[in-house]
């Protein structure tokens, strides 16, 4: 049994175009202490996957319409709100993309970390504060005792993301979800944050679900990779296997797109076009419109994940060998 | 929280008050007719000696600027002139009545903010729920209905249908010799209807405003962070969201304070509340200029003080504003 198992998850949203399926048959698994990278362009469902695990899909309009999310065997999609509250922050914690806006502007950062501790641990307030300062020190914030008294606006983006990391690991969660933790940061700071996440994982033994565009970070950090497109996992396997022998044309495009200053962001120079809006998804492969190798089957039928070259891919071309 | 900021704000406030005094002075000068007669209240029967003594007292025989200087000097010494009608110093008249007015206005302000924000927060929790619909309807009615109408309706309701609250005055004569706490409770009992009447329009506005402000804040990333920590919904609403939603509410509360004071004038009249509003109303009818000016002076002082407190509470609510001037 894996530590975290997402099994055939389906999430829908009510929109003005009617009900759309944001996640369709998404299955992912991670073992204790490993890093799973989830990659894909903006809008392909990475954050929704993460929020589903946290039980934080905005409902309405969102809804978990099928499947299961098992944490050590317990199905979180059936858990009570009280159970989810006890789980959030303690067993599964999350770091968000926007360090500039993810901290509450009216409380000191020390307060916000101490709050996370007090929510899940039966310790006195001054002890929680001391722990908060120690955590700030641990994530590499100089003069931590003084910085703990600062408000978020007094810190840089990189420092705020360190604060978020300190807060997330404050209760030693078994799973740490990092949703594009470096997208909003300077390139030099990005590397520092990835290093910090690596160290944290070594020290705290958390499994990390790393959501990112950065294929460089994937090759450095990830044990396994899942590539998502339009709400589905289209290729998944060990990081080595997927990066060395990508099967899906979309994955090949992603890997070909080495992040540099002008391609960093959402555009993919190698793959023209954009992710289709969910309400326009047809019966076939969602990538068909952008695929250079598209055939009629691709437009009519959705490919399913099958094994190929040591990992799994959902592409008729790859499966039938006509790419 | 720099004391420099507070000193500066108090400085501005004093400057503003000086402006009010000058305006008061001009009011008398611009009123038609002989200023001495105007000050005497045009009640007729002011003898030539009286007018002469008024001219002497206000220096009306001196050049205009000297007169202004004399008037400011008088105000600085706490001398706001003498009410022609009561034949008493205006400062004394106001001293007797400012307490009840402050009690009424501050109670109404706190009541409207507290209940309004509570309604707004509950409405924001479910933007499409029953509470939200109630707040919208209530706010619309609250805007539309004039304060004296609410007062009269409440008087009708509580005087005849449901006589649980007194509809007139501030104290009961029969309790004049009772213990202090009985008297306090008696005043509180009398306060219910006037305070609620005065509060209700603003209450509706605060409900609407805090609903909108909360809805915006609840969509923020840091609210998602709070939920991701495992905070319960109550904590998210009242600890994480409300502090951030408070700024626009404080702004409006500060701006509304002046309106609240003028609303108090009507409410005091309707409920026969023995405050400054009642005094102003009577003085206007009697053209008792020195008293009107005195009331104006103190009402302005209350607004200025309220604004200083508002600015100060901004800084309490939002650390990003601290350390700025
Ligand atoms: N609140 C919402 N209402 C409707 N649709 C939504 C909502 N949130 C997300 N979606 C849909 O889910 C898709 C996936 O979003 P998301 O998981 O945030 O993408 P990303 O991979 O960039 O993190 C989006 O393209 C959007 O269509
Ligand atoms: Mg995202």
For the CA of A14, the nearest ligand: 1
How far lies B40's CA from each of A323, B80, B321, in Å?
103, 14, 49
Nearest CA in chain A to B247: A106
Which pLDDT band, with edges at 50, 70 and 90, does B324 fall under? low
Closest CA–CA distance from residue B11 to any residue of chain A (Å): 28
Q: Are B214 and B124 in contact (CB under 8 A)?
A: yes
CB pairs under 8 A between A and B: 68
Cβ A48 under 6 angstroms from ligand 1:
yes
- Cβ B298 vs Cβ B276: under 8 Å: yes
| Contact flag A104-B225 (C-beta cutoff 8 Å) | yes
- Model pLDDT, residue B71: 81
Are residues A167 and A84 in contact, defined by beta-carbon separation less than 8 angstroms? no
pTM: 0.81
May I ask the CATH class of domain B102-321? mainly alpha
Residue pLDDT, tens place only, A250-280: 998 888 754 444 444 444 556 777 888 888 8
Q: Do A101 and B317 touch (CB under 8 A)?
A: no
Reported as a single tens digit per residue, the pLDDT across A109-119 is 999 999 999 99
Distance CA A103, CA B220 (A): 10
Q: What angle separates helix A157-169 from helix A125-138, to the nearest 10 degrees?
A: 130
Identify all chain A residues contacting B221, using CB atoms and an 8 Å cutoff: 96, 98, 101-102
Q: Which of A38-42, B161-165, B302-306 has the lowest mean pLDDT?
A: B161-165
- Per-residue tokens: B86: 């009561």
Chain A nearest C-alpha distance from B1 (Å)? 14
A153: contact with B, CB 8 A cutoff: yes
CB of A13 closer than 6 angstroms to any ligand 1 atom? yes
Cα–ligand 1 centroid distance for A10 (angstroms) = 13
Binary contact (B221, A102; C-beta < 8 A): yes
CA distance B283 to B288: 5
| Sign of the C-alpha dihedral computed for residues B36, B40, B42 and B46 taken in this order | negative
Surface of A (111-150) touching B: CB under 8 A: 115-116, 119-120
Of these ranges, A174-178, B81-85, B137-141, the one predicted with the greatest mean pLDDT is: A174-178
Is residue A142 scored above 70 in pLDDT?
Answer: yes
Residues 87-106 of A with CB under 8 A from B: 87-90, 93-94, 96, 98, 101-106
What does pLDDT average to over chain A?
89
Mean pLDDT of B277-294: 83
Lowest mean pLDDT among A96-100, A104-108, B36-40: B36-40
pLDDT digits (tens, 9 = 90+) for A19-56: 999 999 999 999 988 999 999 988 899 999 999 999 99
Computed over every residue of chain B, the mean pLDDT equals: 84
Name the closest residue on chain A to residue B127, using Cα atoms.
A60
Query: Is the CB of A43 inside a 6 Å radius of any atom of ligand 1?
Result: yes
Helix axes B276-286, B289-317, angle to 10 degrees: 150
Please name the residues in contact with A145: beta carbons below 8 A apart, sequence gap of 6 or more. Answer: A133
Of A86, A101, A107, the CB nearest to B221: A101
Total residue count of chain A as it appears in this document: 323
**Tokens in use for B94?**
């106001």
Pairing mode, strands A18-30 and A4-15: antiparallel
């Amino acid at each position: 049994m894996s530590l975290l198992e997402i099994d055939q998850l389906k999430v829908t949203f009510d929109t003005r175009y009617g009900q759309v399926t944001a996640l369709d048959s998404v299955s992912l698994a991670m073992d204790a202490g490993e890093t799973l990278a989830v990659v894909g362009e903006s809008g392909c469902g990475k954050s929704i996957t993460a929020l589903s695990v946290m039980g934080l899909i905005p409902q309405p309009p969102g809804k978990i319409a099928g499947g299961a999310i098992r944490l050590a065997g317990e199905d979180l999609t059936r858990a009570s709100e009280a159970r989810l509250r006890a789980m959030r922050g303690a067993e599964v914690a999350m770091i968000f993309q926007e360090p500039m806006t993810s901290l509450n502007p009216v409380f000191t950062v020390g307060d916000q970390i101490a709050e996370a501790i007090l929510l899940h641990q039966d310790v006195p307030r001054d002890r929680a504060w001391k722990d908060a300062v120690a955590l700030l020190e641990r994530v590499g914030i100089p003069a931590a005792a003084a910085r703990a008294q600062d408000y978020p606006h007094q810190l840089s983006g990189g420092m705020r993301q360190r604060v978020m990391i300190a807060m997330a690991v404050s209760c030693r969660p078994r799973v740490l979800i990092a949703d594009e933790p470096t997208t909003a940061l300077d390139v030099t700071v990005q590397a520092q944050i990835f290093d910090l996440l690596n160290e944290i994982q070594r020290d705290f033994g958390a499994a990390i679900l790393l959501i990112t565009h950065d294929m460089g970070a994937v090759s450095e950090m990830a044990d396994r990779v899942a590539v998502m497109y339009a709400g589905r996992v289209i290729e998944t396997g060990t990081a080595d296997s997927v990066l060395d022998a990508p099967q899906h044309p979309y994955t090949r495009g992603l890997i070909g797109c080495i992040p540099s200053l002008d391609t960093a962001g959402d555009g993919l120079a190698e793959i023209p076009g954009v992710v289709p809006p969910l309400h326009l998804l047809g019966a076939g492969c969602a990538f068909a419109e952008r695929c250079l190798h598209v055939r009629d089957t691709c437009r009519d039928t959705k490919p399913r994940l099958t094994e190929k070259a040591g990992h799994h891919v959902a592409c008729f071309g790859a499966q039938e060998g006509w790419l | 929280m720099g004391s420099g900021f507070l000193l500066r704000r108090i400085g501005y406030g004093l400057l503003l008050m000086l402006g009010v005094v000058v305006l008061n002075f001009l009011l008398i000068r611009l009123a038609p007719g002989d200023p001495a007669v105007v000050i005497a209240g045009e009640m007729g029967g002011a003898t030539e000696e009286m007018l002469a003594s008024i001219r002497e007292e206000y220096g009306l025989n001196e050049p205009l600027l000297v007169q202004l200087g004399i008037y400011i000097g008088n105000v600085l010494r706490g001398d706001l002139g003498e009410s022609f009608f009561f034949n008493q110093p205006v400062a004394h008249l106001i001293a007797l009545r400012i307490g009840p007015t402050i009690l009424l206005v501050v109670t109404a302000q706190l009541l409207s903010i507290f209940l309004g924000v509570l309604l707004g927060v509950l409405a924001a929790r479910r933007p499409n729920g029953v509470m939200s619909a109630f707040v919208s309807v209530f706010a619309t009615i609250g805007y539309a209905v004039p304060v004296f109408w609410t007062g009269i309706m409440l008087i009708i309701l509580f005087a005849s249908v449901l006589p649980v609250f007194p509809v007139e005055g501030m104290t009961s004569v029969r309790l004049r010799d009772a213990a202090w706490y009985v008297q306090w409770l008696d005043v509180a009992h009398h306060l219910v209807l006037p305070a609620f009447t005065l509060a209700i329009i603003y209450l509706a506005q605060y409900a609407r405003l805090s609903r909108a402000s909360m809805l915006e804040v609840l969509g923020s990333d840091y609210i998602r962070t709070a939920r991701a920590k495992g905070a319960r919904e109550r904590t998210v609403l009242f600890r994480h969201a409300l502090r951030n939603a408070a700024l626009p509410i404080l702004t409006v509360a500060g701006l509304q304070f002046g309106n609240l004071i003028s609303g108090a004038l009507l409410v005091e009249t309707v409920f026969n509340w023995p405050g400054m509003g009642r005094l102003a109303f009577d003085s206007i009818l009697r053209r008792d200029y020195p008293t009107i000016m005195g009331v104006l002076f103190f009402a302005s002082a209350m607004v200025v003080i309220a604004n200083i407190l508002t600015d100060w509470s901004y800084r309490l609510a939002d650390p990003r504003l601290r350390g700025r001037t």
